[in-house]
Amino acid sequence: MGLLDPLFRWTEVDVLYSDEARLQGMLDFEAALARALAGAGVVPGSAAAAIAGRCQAAYFDARALGLEAARAGNPAIPLVKRLTALVAQDDAAAARFVHWGATSQDAMDTGTVLQLRRALDVLEAELGRLADGLARLAVAHRKTPVAARTWMQQALPTTFGLKVAGWLDAVDRHRLRLLELRPRALVVQLGGAAGTLAALGDKGNEVVLALSRELELGVPGLPWHTHRDRLVEVATTLGLCTGTLGKIARDLSLQMMTEVAEVQEPAEEGRGGSSTLPHKRNPVACAVVLAAAMRMPGLVASMLAAMVQEEERGLGGWHAEWETLPEIVGLFGGALRHLTEAVCGLEVDPRRMRENLETSRGLVFAEAVQMALGAALGRAGAHDLVQAAATQAREERRHLRDVLAMDDTVARHLSPERLHALFDPAGYLGVADALIDRVLAAHAAYPGSGR
Amino acid sequence: MGLLDPLFRWTEVDVLYSDEARLQGMLDFEAALARALAGAGVVPGSAAAAIAGRCQAAYFDARALGLEAARAGNPAIPLVKRLTALVAQDDAAAARFVHWGATSQDAMDTGTVLQLRRALDVLEAELGRLADGLARLAVAHRKTPVAARTWMQQALPTTFGLKVAGWLDAVDRHRLRLLELRPRALVVQLGGAAGTLAALGDKGNEVVLALSRELELGVPGLPWHTHRDRLVEVATTLGLCTGTLGKIARDLSLQMMTEVAEVQEPAEEGRGGSSTLPHKRNPVACAVVLAAAMRMPGLVASMLAAMVQEEERGLGGWHAEWETLPEIVGLFGGALRHLTEAVCGLEVDPRRMRENLETSRGLVFAEAVQMALGAALGRAGAHDLVQAAATQAREERRHLRDVLAMDDTVARHLSPERLHALFDPAGYLGVADALIDRVLAAHAAYPGSGR
Amino acid sequence: MGLLDPLFRWTEVDVLYSDEARLQGMLDFEAALARALAGAGVVPGSAAAAIAGRCQAAYFDARALGLEAARAGNPAIPLVKRLTALVAQDDAAAARFVHWGATSQDAMDTGTVLQLRRALDVLEAELGRLADGLARLAVAHRKTPVAARTWMQQALPTTFGLKVAGWLDAVDRHRLRLLELRPRALVVQLGGAAGTLAALGDKGNEVVLALSRELELGVPGLPWHTHRDRLVEVATTLGLCTGTLGKIARDLSLQMMTEVAEVQEPAEEGRGGSSTLPHKRNPVACAVVLAAAMRMPGLVASMLAAMVQEEERGLGGWHAEWETLPEIVGLFGGALRHLTEAVCGLEVDPRRMRENLETSRGLVFAEAVQMALGAALGRAGAHDLVQAAATQAREERRHLRDVLAMDDTVARHLSPERLHALFDPAGYLGVADALIDRVLAAHAAYPGSGR
Amino acid sequence: MGLLDPLFRWTEVDVLYSDEARLQGMLDFEAALARALAGAGVVPGSAAAAIAGRCQAAYFDARALGLEAARAGNPAIPLVKRLTALVAQDDAAAARFVHWGATSQDAMDTGTVLQLRRALDVLEAELGRLADGLARLAVAHRKTPVAARTWMQQALPTTFGLKVAGWLDAVDRHRLRLLELRPRALVVQLGGAAGTLAALGDKGNEVVLALSRELELGVPGLPWHTHRDRLVEVATTLGLCTGTLGKIARDLSLQMMTEVAEVQEPAEEGRGGSSTLPHKRNPVACAVVLAAAMRMPGLVASMLAAMVQEEERGLGGWHAEWETLPEIVGLFGGALRHLTEAVCGLEVDPRRMRENLETSRGLVFAEAVQMALGAALGRAGAHDLVQAAATQAREERRHLRDVLAMDDTVARHLSPERLHALFDPAGYLGVADALIDRVLAAHAAYPGSGR
């Protein structure tokens, strides 16, 4: 927990990837393995108890294990050696059965899966909070007109509620993806040195089942030492999630620009200041989320690249995951936390949204006029007429309505009142409201929503 | 279809991404939109027929449209203009309703989805073929001993059937992932310029439903112009699939090395030769698959990076997908096709596999001896004894069995016959057979398997 | 040259990567090799002439070669076979010496280097045009005040000229990088099957030197079949260049937003329109450049990943380059061309730039006031006073100057005239002008600049 | 320094990126800035001394600063605040001038550059050690025959010295690249809030020059707050370097395979063991290097993606660098250190190399025979004859020499003695020796080599 962690990560997730948590994950495996072996009659029950009694991270020195791991090639080797020595202090006979039948990767992978389960629990709950926050925002602003912007140019009026409903819809899809991957990702790893469980004679499958019951994890078809899609899918899915968070943050940051100023991140003492500029209120949450969105594709790519693992144990590919997957979880956690706070406390300025609809001097209503004229003139004819008026309005810095009001063709088909009404955003929102309803209904039906 | 396409891609998939296919995708949208609009009473039925009659790629010149697209910013704009002109030749009234209520991205995205559906159909069928080929191979070699290799070093005996079952298990997981993403990815896009469907008045949702029925696509919660997770999930999932193909190809290429020579890609006239070396038989399929596995992470990263799309239409992010997604589908298709052919015609040399188990002069059986001695000496004691013998055997270039046979402690616990038997691979395969059965059973239960 | 190429690529660069250009690159190698062999007395001079006479792409059918390459594993193998057959038609004796002593990769790599040299020539010239266009813009707007924006918020006044000078400075650095990599990248490849040139007996080095003279390429220390840093450096350098283009495009796109409207891409018939919105003028060049900036990091990553090539010829890594490097060159070329055109025809609106400096109601001058008060109050005291005033101004929607004018402390230290002057952007531009001069001077000194 | 750092990183480099080092980098900037301001007469000399006296990381609590940075958005803001408070304890007047005229990014970027300079010093020295170790190996094995392998198949004989010379040549190219980037990367950052140095009035450039003299860094054309190519080039260049390290490690790992066994990483107590297999000696250095080579492309991609930074201060892009660049330097340092140790202590087995040349039953000499017959039969005729013999040899598991000895055509052109001699690797090494000499000469001429 150093200089940059509080900014980029979230304690509730990141603690799962502390050295201590990593050690505890492996030790939870070793303890459960001992119990499973005892249950299957492979080792004495007393040995299991003695082993489990020492499976606590506090007994171990991560730094010392790290130095040995630098030679051994992975941290499970010195951990098992040290665990054996500790158990031997208590019960020499039990020490003979530490790590029985297992390989280093069994301990490390199962430990990773256990950490991941805790992380997913926390992250899914927070995604739920974000979704609920968005749902509230969509409800509150379902009638708030705002400019829709395409290619970063004002296009048409829409509502802020519909913008938010789009964000919500995507977040809820991600929640479903995370549910779907759980049975694939949250499985036990136990294969012994080569995946045959040979060291357990004919008891291999029995022990795997017992181990999975101990840890409440699924049973894989076979050991997956070099089949990493189970874990990499977590990475790709969090990559997808982060893409959506980045999209939301990009939108917010554009709406927060000085010249737009439609929303603001929640105000807080010491938040978003500047070391020299007294007036600044920087969008810190957006910066953190966007930074994560820039870093994540590369990290996901690393996980995908590392899938090409050789035969029964990868050379380098497996190692490449050890820091990358925690990084992915940690960065996503930090970004999610920041965005949830920003969304839940977002300051929305409907007045400014409406004012900005006037920035273009009516051009944002061009399609409304075109559709109104289209019935009489055809789509192409109306398009040409309005395009010419729009160009004139832009060049002469006049309001489109005023230009159109001078046009004989327009006058023939639209009364002054009708023309005026076409420049009211509330009159050209299509089915925005119904779309919001559909998304909210789906959200409400989502398991655990509506809190 | 040029110089490198036949090597890297697969005609049945790649044709979906030809310019013609891309045009046809958009035209299928325009035709279906016209029918949907007619069904909803927005445009006359005669107009729909006239429009649909011109929605064939053969009427369009991709090169000419491309030159206009370079100025317009996307190919749908000149396509709609040209379609309108063509329809006008047949029925001037109908031409007024071309693309009615839609925006360029509606046409392009729905077209992409339609192409993608065809691609997924083809790819899933081929993945099924690969899986079936692997299943046959696992059955045929379930008893064939071969060295398991960890860190690219011989570790223990296993069976070739178990190696193959591991590949199969992963491939079947990917097939499930592809099924799960279909309802998210295969949905219609129709939102109009800003996602409100404002140009359709109050008929927006009705038209969306009709359009989805026309195209047999799902209905999204709302337009997803800048929510790209639907498409990007296809990319990440094909990225996962490619990782597994790469892992299989890496394994095969290692087993194909001159010094290992346990398998060979199918022989074929003109395949894998060299421009100068008369004896070469190069693993072309592996090269293609491994090349795809190296390129895919970067391409998936591009798709993830492009998710950060601004407000109602992205500036650059949307454009970044247009070539990247087809590239991903095309490279995966080519790799899949090559690997399926290699697997289905793989030449396996069980004799050489058994010979290679002798390469290490018995070291590959070290764990078997250790476990046999472990009951008497404890795991640690046995480990130390065998490790010392292994070091001696390596240094003196002797067989481990011979070194052990001279050891008094060994002699005390293991008869010469028992010691000899420990160096038989068939005696130390653990539950390999049962694991193969489990994977085959799951495969057989998979929808559409066993063909 | 299809539907998307005119938008994303640039003919002058892309043609280098057409199938025809790729074939010609290899054929140029074969012709030069034949001459070099003749020069070294390895083959008869008549053979060289006969071979060179057939080394024209027009004699070859890329599609047919592609189909053979799909089996052979690379296109050089069928090309050499076909070339041999063609030469045999003219001179049976000469046909014996086609490709003498070389391997496929020698032809493909040297061909790639030849294509790359042409591409670099074109790209460097265009980078020069871009730099010159930026220099002109910096000169024209060296006094034009505009808001500097940090974290996408108005910070201080700066000049548009200084913004542009920053772009120019980066572009000129890239030009230097491209010059530096030339001697590493533009070298001949000739090693024979394994890099020993064994097939040339003791004439190997002599032939390499002669070949390099023929092609005007450098001589490498030794064959670099699996040492790809020479080519990958081109990729990483174009990646860096694209990052800068993306930064410029992002800046332009933000300044082009409807609410900011400080610049516009050049107007052109049919440029940046919309299929439905009559008033839109979309920043097409920015979209193309930003799309390239999103795709490039993944493509560069693919090249870096492919560097891990096995022993004397890579399996997959080499193949992964064949399409990726042309893609990088092509996308960069397209982005560069679009940006150069946008910059050279950029419409700049100094009036709007000055108006936007009023958007914040004086907050953008907060630091100027703070520094003026700092002499008397200290930096911290001044910061606190101005920060409080800024908060009040924001909350009450008042101008900062008006709030400060009511403050007794301010009144004590600043006369009304002095206070008023602090809100003039021209008074707080620091050394902007001198910085522009420095950059322009460096640009003028750059070889070939100032055209 | 935790569980995985000793394995993946190298203390001498990693310590540069500890929190303490990061703080010290910023503090070195603040101290030098104070002195530069004093030198330019902007602040009193006594203030500079008082400020510099507190610019030591030991006075600061990284964890507490981190918590504030999470709100402020960067660690420089709370650092400056805390530094100001500390200086005020000593000299209230001096405290007014802390960070005078600078912005957070000035402190953070210059600090990064200072850290980077130390890292480059260490890394370049170690690259020199690696190069020297390779040079020694190339000399020692310049005559050691070994199989050249293409597509992971034996191709021809070469020498181990030539393989090593290829590695050396690439490493020396990287050393040159690192020298070339120094003047671009190692420059001072000082621009104030918006890059105009406005807060320093007309003293801006004078202070920049003084600061650069204080820190012995270069002077940039103008502030480069959002022009990140200077730093990203370090990332891409280390990416290139890592690619080469990965290539060497891949080669070594293939030569270390049980079935090949031509080289071994240095033996060391506790190195490369297994938690269960007593005989294993795992290539730990290769695993670490290959893991870095898999992770690096994604990390470099993140740096490239983050180059698109907005206007005068990036939102997210700048933040994305803070952990990514140290990660790149750290992973490269660890990989470099591991590989240097492995190369300097590499165990080479020339006997086994020669034995492996017999694995193919003479096929590895096929080209030698073909070239010998080519003079008489032509290249194509000889190719066909030898290819047929090779196929026969493979199918009948006979030695190619024995098959050829039975062939009448061969007998007509080659005496039994000549045929026998063609199967001697020493006779078909081309100009391997001369190539090694060329590379060694270039290495010896490299500044600082030959230690």
pLDDT at D264 over 80: yes
**CB proximity list for C121: less than 8 A, separation 6 or greater:** none
Indicate yes or no: CB of C367 within 8 angstroms of CB of D434. no
pLDDT score of A380: 77
Distance from CA of C200 to the nearest CA of A (A): 38
Show which subunits contact D, needing at least 3 CB pairs below 8 angstroms. Answer: A, B, C
pLDDT at B224 over 90: yes
State how far the Cα of A78 lies from the Cα of A32, in Å rounded to an integer. Answer: 19
Chain C residue with CA closest to D367: the answer is C199
Q: Tell me: the pLDDT tens digits for B53-80?
A: 999 999 999 999 999 999 999 999 999 9
Chain A interface mutation, best of B152, B236, B367, highest count of A Cβ atoms under 10 Å: B236
- The catalytic position among D274, D379, D418, D438 is D274
Q: What secondary structure, in 3-state letters, does chain A show? A: CCCCHHHHCCHHHHHHHCHHHHHHHHHHHHHHHHHHHHHCCCCCHHHHHHHHHCCCHHHCCHHHHHHHHHHHCCCHHHHHHHHHHHHHHHCHHHHCCCCCCCCHHHHHHHHHHHHHHHHHHHHHHHHHHHHHHHHHHHHHCCCCEEEEEECCEEEEEEEHHHHHHHHHHHHHHHHHHHHHHHHHHCECCCCCCCCCCHHHCCCHHHHHHHHHHHHCCECCCCCCCCCCHHHHHHHHHHHHHHHHHHHHHHHHHHHCCCCCCCEECCCCCCCCCCCCCCCCCCCHHHHHHHHHHHHHHHHHHHHHHCCCCCCCECCCHHHHHHHHHHHHHHHHHHHHHHHHHHHHCCEECHHHHHHHCCCCCCHHHHHHHHHHHHHHHHHHHHHHHHHHHHHHHHHHCCCHHHHHHCCHHHHHHCCHHHHHHCCCHHHCCCCHHHHHHHHHHHHHHCCCCCC
Q: Tell me: the pLDDT tens digits for C435-444?
A: 999 999 999 9
Query: Which chain A residues touch B232 with a CB distance below 8 Å?
Result: 240, 243
pLDDT band at A451 (very low <50, low <70, confident <90, very high): very low
Query: Which chain D residues touch C73 with a CB distance below 8 Å?
Result: 151
Q: Which of D258, D297, D386 sits opposite B153 (nearest CB)?
A: D258
Secondary element (H or E) of residue C149: strand C145-150
Share of chain A above pLDDT 70, in %: 98
Mean pLDDT within C446-450: 61
Q: Which of B258, B272, B283 sits opposite D360 (nearest CB)?
A: B258
Chain C interface mutation, best of A156, A253, A258, highest count of C Cβ atoms under 10 Å: A258
Indicate yes or no: CB of C227 within 8 angstroms of CB of D180. no
Q: Which of A272, A281, A359 sits opposite C258 (nearest CB)?
A: A359
Q: Tell me: the pLDDT tens digits for C95-117?
A: 999 999 999 999 999 999 999 99
pLDDT score of B451: 41
Distance from CA of B260 to the nearest CA of C (A): 16
pLDDT score of B15: 73
State how far the Cα of B318 lies from the Cα of B316, in Å rounded to an integer. Answer: 5
pLDDT score of A377: 84
- The catalytic position among C129, C177, C295, C313 is C313
For residues B104 and B80, the answer to whether their CB atoms sit within 8 Å is yes
**CB proximity list for D334: less than 8 A, separation 6 or greater:** D7, D8, D9, D10, D13, D14, D288, D292
Interface size C-D, in CB pairs within 8 Å, comes to: 330
pLDDT score of B14: 77
Mean pLDDT within A22-34: 98
Q: Tell me: the pLDDT tens digits for B3-14?
A: 999 999 998 887
Mean pLDDT within A200-220: 97
For residues C152 and D310, the answer to whether their CB atoms sit within 8 Å is yes
ipTM over 0.85: yes
Report how far apart, in Å, the C-alpha atoms of A141 and of each of A159, A441, C384 are. Answer: 7, 16, 36
Query: Which chain B residues touch D296 with a CB distance below 8 Å?
Result: none
Distance from CA of C289 to the nearest CA of B (A): 7
Indicate yes or no: CB of A229 within 8 angstroms of CB of B374. no
Query: Which chain A residues touch C257 with a CB distance below 8 Å?
Result: 149, 152-153, 254, 257, 259-260
State how far the Cα of A77 lies from the Cα of A75, in Å rounded to an integer. Answer: 5
pLDDT score of C124: 97
**Where is pLDDT greater, at A275 or A123?**
A123
pLDDT score of A274: 72
Distance from CA of D335 to the nearest CA of B (A): 17
pLDDT at D448 over 70: no
Chain C interface mutation, best of D247, D363, D438, highest count of C Cβ atoms under 10 Å: D247
pLDDT band at C450 (very low <50, low <70, confident <90, very high): very low
Chain D interface mutation, best of C86, C180, C222, C446, highest count of D Cβ atoms under 10 Å: C222
* Counts of helices then strands in chain D (DSSP H, E): 19, 4
pLDDT score of A6: 94
**CB proximity list for B100: less than 8 A, separation 6 or greater:** A379, B33, B34, B37, B42, B43, B199, B200
Indicate yes or no: CB of B149 within 8 angstroms of CB of A311. yes
pLDDT score of B17: 76
Distance from CA of A108 to the nearest CA of C (A): 26
Chain A residue with CA closest to B180: the answer is A180
Q: Tell me: the pLDDT tens digits for A293-311?
A: 999 999 999 999 999 999 9
Mean pLDDT of chain B: 94
Q: Which of A274, A284, A294 sits opposite D305 (nearest CB)?
A: A294
> Does the CA dihedral D292-D295-D299-D301 come out positive or negative?
positive
Indicate yes or no: CB of D257 within 8 angstroms of CB of B147. no
Mean pLDDT within C186-194: 96
For residues B394 and B363, the answer to whether their CB atoms sit within 8 Å is yes
Q: Tell me: the pLDDT tens digits for C5-45?
A: 999 999 888 777 789 999 999 999 999 999 999 999 999 99
Chain A residue with CA closest to C278: the answer is A387
pLDDT at A16 over 80: no
Is C274 an active-site residue? Answer: yes
Query: Which chain C residues touch A259 with a CB distance below 8 Å?
Result: 154, 257, 259-260, 356, 359
Indicate yes or no: CB of B73 within 8 angstroms of CB of C7. yes
pLDDT at D79 over 80: yes
Indicate yes or no: CB of C282 within 8 angstroms of CB of A151. yes
For residues A72 and D272, the answer to whether their CB atoms sit within 8 Å is yes
Q: Which of D100, D251, D439 sits opposite C379 (nearest CB)?
A: D100
Q: Which of C84, C251, C431 sits opposite D205 (nearest CB)?
A: C431
- The catalytic position among A118, A295, A313, A352 is A313
Q: Which of D177, D224, D301 sits opposite C298 (nearest CB)?
A: D301
Chain C residue with CA closest to B315: the answer is C287
pLDDT at C451 over 60: no
State how far the Cα of B81 lies from the Cα of A383, in Å rounded to an integer. Answer: 12
Is C313 an active-site residue? Answer: yes
Chain D interface mutation, best of A105, A294, A310, A311, highest count of D Cβ atoms under 10 Å: A294
pLDDT score of D375: 77
Q: Tell me: the pLDDT tens digits for C269-317?
A: 777 777 667 777 899 999 999 999 999 999 999 999 999 999 999 999 9
CA dihedral D331, D332, D338, D340 (to 10 degrees): -170
Query: Which chain C residues touch D260 with a CB distance below 8 Å?
Result: none
Q: Which of D256, D276, D394 sits opposite B152 (nearest CB)?
A: D256
Distance from CA of C11 to the nearest CA of B (A): 11
Mean pLDDT within C228-244: 98
